[in-house]
Structure 1
Amino acid sequence: MCTEGGSPLISATGRPEPTLDRQIVALALPALGALVAEPLFVLVDSAVVGHLGTEPLAGLALASSVLVTVVGLCVFLAYATTASVSRRMGAGDRRGALQLGVDGMWLGLGLGAVLGAALWLAAPAVIGWLGASGGVAEQAVTYLRWSAPGLPGMLLVFAATGALRGQQDTRTPLGVAAVGAVVNGVLNIVLVYGLDMGIAGSGLGTASVQVAMGLVLGLVVARAARSAGATLRPRSAGVWASTRLGMPLLARTATLRAAMLLTTWVAAGLGAVALAGQQVVGAVWALAAFALDALAIAAQALVGHALGAGELDRSRAVLRRTLQWGVGAGVAAGVLIGGGSFLFVGLFTSDEGVQHAVTSALLVAALFMPVAGWVFVLDGVLIGAGDGVFLAWAGLATLAVYVPCALAVRAWAPDGAAGLAWLTLAFTGVFMLARAITTGLRARTPAWQTLGA
């Protein structure tokens, strides 16, 4: 029997003890809440700005797509910090763990300041590249420029959240995200309508809340760091080390974003029905991904801690059990998406052609949700193990497999519902299966199990 802190992990029969299940649930459920709270910012902005008119809402759609892309590429700050902090915690080096958390936060602040300034300056050009003009372009630029100052706060939230997850604390980020979502809604209404700032008020409100959230989470990590004897000053060596750890994960995330953009481009070539349907399918897929990512976050923290503590058996136990949870959650998600698609598709559109396209595509996606559960958990395990370099190369390999399949769909698939179904099969089938095979083969070897801090 393996133990961690006196808690049994593996029984004499080789089956995982409930203790491990409780650890997974205790980490995953708050993580899920925090993950779901974040998209509420975009939904609130859309609901508030939508009542200003068509041009402001169209401008928000363009501007938010730019912001989501920029911020999404920086999610490596959370992942890399979670992995490094959890390993140090497992090794018993709490001071070193929190020092890495502080270094990660300084990196997030610096990167956010640079990106925020660049986005403010380049906003007109970026919106122009997206093909917008006239009033829509003006609204989009306004929103980008008023929200750009919030980027340091957004990236500070990522780094601080990673530091807390590395300490197996997912409840604090949940609390801050939940309060932030509520405050964001109230502040947006006050600024947009009460002070008559229009779309600028929405950008300012969201930026202000993100900065406040970053400060709150940053103070939580800073207090813990000071109590452990870590310095709060920026250390060039530490910030550079955080950068090196994060670059492979940035490359890996870039390949995922490229696959998603390619999917949208192919859908656009299959006609208006397919493109409209892809918007709905993508939204449903993203919601399911948030749920499965919560298990990946639990896997990151538990695997990193186990390897830092030098416990190979425990890391394998976490791998096996989280995979079981991931596949099981994927099956449940598939049943809900496939079985419920006939019921909820009408909430998104009244167009019967688009409804048919969405329903057909979601049935295809539902079949591969267990594969997605497997993939997301394995991603979490390998990120927690610090295996970012492999994930970067695997991302390039899987993208290379997906590109010709996506291009074939664009060239030969029929327009409309059938084309969207083929595109969904290419993404959820070929792309996700390729990710499942590469990460699954890696997990079968001991190469990812590097021990120590």
Structure 2
Amino acid sequence: MFNKIDKQILKIALPSIISNITIPLLGLIDIAIVGHMGNVVYIGAVSVGSMIFNLIYWLFTFLRMGTSGLTSQSLGQRNLSEVTSVLLRSFTIAQGLALAIILTQQPLRQLLIFFIAPKADVMPYVDTYFNIVVWGAPAVLGINSLTGWFVGMQNTRIPMAVSIIQNVTNIVASLSLVYGLHMKIEGVATGTVIAQYAGLLTALFLLRKHYTRLIPYYQRNKVFIKVGILKFFSINKDIFLRTLCLVFTNLYFTSTGARLGTVILSANAVIMQLYLLFSYIMDGFAYAGEALGGRLYGAHNVRGFRKMVRRLFGWTLVLTAAYTLLYIVGSMDFIKLLTDEEPVLQATRNYIYWAWVVPAAGAAAFIWDGIFIGTTATKGMLISAFFSTAGFLAICLLTKPIIGNHGLWLAMIAYLALRGIIQTFIYLKSEKYKFNV
């Protein structure tokens, strides 16, 4: 039977899981539409363009994470004045960063294209896609900020609704522009931007509908108070640097696999989809750690906090076992849904067992990330990410020359496991200090 904490965890986790599952649909919809335009360069252009914006916006995930932790703690302290201040502070900073992206769009585009190095034939279409989609930055960063605030307020249903509306709008807008108005890459890009602003307007509408009761707690002079700004940027600096470590690891994994050949690159890419499937579920429980952990921590509810941590890891144990069994039994059947290229399938069979240990290696890091965000213990996240990345790089450099792609996967599994192990030690060391007992 589920106890009270379990019900609270699932209330937050399940809508978050649905939201996570819908996120990849935005990119898949665009690929599906351009895939029927009769020219392969359109697919390449959208793929490169999407990669550029994924890299940009990934670096700004601190807006969601930092806002979530600060909001949930303020809620636990029943400090509703600070709850409203965090919302306005975060959203204003998000819009300032979006403006910076728009103002620096050309050098930013050139820098990222230099690193990605797409083929010359897709470049004109990449430019077209980028020059349109970049104007969605205020919407994307605004949604990040609002999502973090909603999660901190223990409400993941609104972000779920925003994700669903974004996807429906993207389908309708892109299909209408491409097939109704006979636009090409411009139609897909414009449809994406329309969907992004539809998501932002939905979030703002639901914010007004459900949280007007907080207006009396608004204190203008507290929104940009120095101590609040310094705390916001201190927390988000750690998250930003931690994200850089994650970006580096993923880019290095991909680029190193590419140097081993196209078949190995493709095999690694399809195996990595199994990790993404696991991450969609675990992120939902990480959100529960953010929301509940921050609120209980803010309320100094030591007993409730520790019980929540135990129950989260109970769920993690069950999900890890289920996913491991599922991957051992059916991972190759799933891979065959993604590709029917025999060389890729053969290569995948040689490395698929690395995917079997991904759930066990990576599960703890998801939960600790959520708990550390909720308690704003972001320094611990940065430390674990830094040393795990260093471990990944060392193992890769030592083993890849000897065992090839197996060495690359060994390094990735070690990286995932190290993050969870280091965060466990940090938690055990600092728990007594955090709660003053």
Per the TM superposition, whether the score is higher than 0.5 is yes
SS at match of 1:34: helix
How do residues 431-442 of structure 1 correspond to structure 2 at under 5 angstroms? Answer: 431-442=415-426
CA contact (8 A) 1:327 1:374 kept: no
1:6 maps to which residue? none
Paired with 1:232 and 1:210, the residues of 2 have a C-alpha distance of 29
CA contact (8 A) 2:59 2:243 kept: yes
Spell out, residue by residue over 1:117-144, the C-alpha distance to the aligned partner (whole angstroms, 9 max, x if none): 3235543553244323433011111111
Paired with 1:350 and 1:313, the residues of 2 have a C-alpha distance of 52
- State TM-score, norm by structure 1: 0.89
Structure 1 unmatched ranges of 5 or more? 1-15
1:20 maps to which residue? 5
Work out which of the residue numbers 181, 184, 190 in structure 2 matches 1:195.
Answer: 181
1:382–1:96 CA distance, 2 compared to 1 (3 A): same
- Determine whether 1:153 maps to 2:142: no
CA contact (8 A) 2:393 2:411 kept: no
Work out which of the residue numbers 208, 211, 227 in structure 1 matches 2:215.
Answer: 227
The Cα shift of 1:395 comes to 1.2
Work out which of the residue numbers 136, 143, 148 in structure 2 matches 1:162.
Answer: 148
1:10 maps to which residue? none
The Cα shift of 1:236 comes to 6.5
1:115–1:288 CA distance, 2 compared to 1 (3 A): same
1:70 maps to which residue? 56
1:375 maps to which residue? 365
Paired with 1:384 and 1:448, the residues of 2 have a C-alpha distance of 17
CA contact (8 A) 2:169 2:194 kept: no
CA contact (8 A) 1:94 1:228 kept: no
How do residues 41-80 of structure 1 correspond to structure 2 at under 5 angstroms? Answer: 41-52=26-37, 53-80=39-66
AA aligned opposite 1:381: I
- Determine whether 1:426 maps to 2:411: yes
The Cα shift of 1:87 comes to 0.3
- Determine whether 1:407 maps to 2:397: yes
1:67–1:212 CA distance, 2 compared to 1 (3 A): same
Paired with 1:323 and 1:353, the residues of 2 have a C-alpha distance of 39
Work out which of the residue numbers 100, 113, 122 in structure 1 matches 2:99.
Answer: 113
Spell out, residue by residue over 1:161-212, the C-alpha distance to the aligned partner (whole angstroms, 9 max, x if none): 1101111000011011112111111111111222222112211111121122
Work out which of the residue numbers 11, 16, 20 in structure 2 matches 1:35.
Answer: 20
The Cα shift of 1:411 comes to 2.4
1:448–1:43 CA distance, 2 compared to 1 (3 A): farther
AA aligned opposite 1:432: L
Paired with 1:240 and 1:64, the residues of 2 have a C-alpha distance of 33
Q: Which moved more, 1:336-345 or 1:48-57?
A: 336-345
1:348–1:17 CA distance, 2 compared to 1 (3 A): closer
CA contact (8 A) 2:289 2:367 kept: yes
The Cα shift of 1:50 comes to 1.5
Paired with 2:208 and 2:225, the residues of 1 have a C-alpha distance of 18
Paired with 2:96 and 2:4, the residues of 1 have a C-alpha distance of 40
SS at match of 1:22: helix
Paired with 2:202 and 2:224, the residues of 1 have a C-alpha distance of 22
- Determine whether 1:446 maps to 2:430: yes
Paired with 1:129 and 1:446, the residues of 2 have a C-alpha distance of 40
Paired with 2:139 and 2:242, the residues of 1 have a C-alpha distance of 23
AA aligned opposite 2:423: T
SS at match of 2:154: coil
CA contact (8 A) 1:109 1:155 kept: yes
CA contact (8 A) 1:382 1:448 kept: no
- State TM-score, norm by structure 2: 0.93
Structure 2 unmatched ranges of 5 or more? none
AA aligned opposite 1:36: I
Q: Which moved more, 1:167-176 or 1:319-328?
A: 319-328
SS at match of 1:407: helix
Q: Which moved more, 1:270-279 or 1:127-136?
A: 127-136
Percent identity, aligned pairs only?
24
CA contact (8 A) 1:409 1:422 kept: yes
Work out which of the residue numbers 281, 306, 323 in structure 2 matches 1:291.
Answer: 281
Paired with 2:432 and 2:139, the residues of 1 have a C-alpha distance of 33
Aligned length: 431
Q: Which moved more, 1:322-331 or 1:220-229?
A: 220-229
Spell out, residue by residue over 1:146-169, the C-alpha distance to the aligned partner (whole angstroms, 9 max, x if none): 100111111111110110111100
1:3 maps to which residue? none
Paired with 2:352 and 2:309, the residues of 1 have a C-alpha distance of 29
AA aligned opposite 1:172: I
AA aligned opposite 1:368: V
CA contact (8 A) 1:345 1:359 kept: no
Paired with 1:449 and 1:87, the residues of 2 have a C-alpha distance of 17
Cα-Cα RMSD: 2.2
2:160 maps to which residue? 174
1:25–1:448 CA distance, 2 compared to 1 (3 A): farther
The Cα shift of 1:363 comes to 2.1
CA contact (8 A) 2:238 2:382 kept: yes
CA contact (8 A) 1:292 1:373 kept: yes
1:435–1:124 CA distance, 2 compared to 1 (3 A): closer
Q: Which has the higher helix share?
A: 2
SS at match of 1:445: helix
AA aligned opposite 2:84: L
Paired with 2:249 and 2:233, the residues of 1 have a C-alpha distance of 24
The Cα shift of 1:334 comes to 1.9
Paired with 2:285 and 2:85, the residues of 1 have a C-alpha distance of 26
2:243 maps to which residue? 253
The Cα shift of 1:369 comes to 0.6
SS at match of 2:339: coil
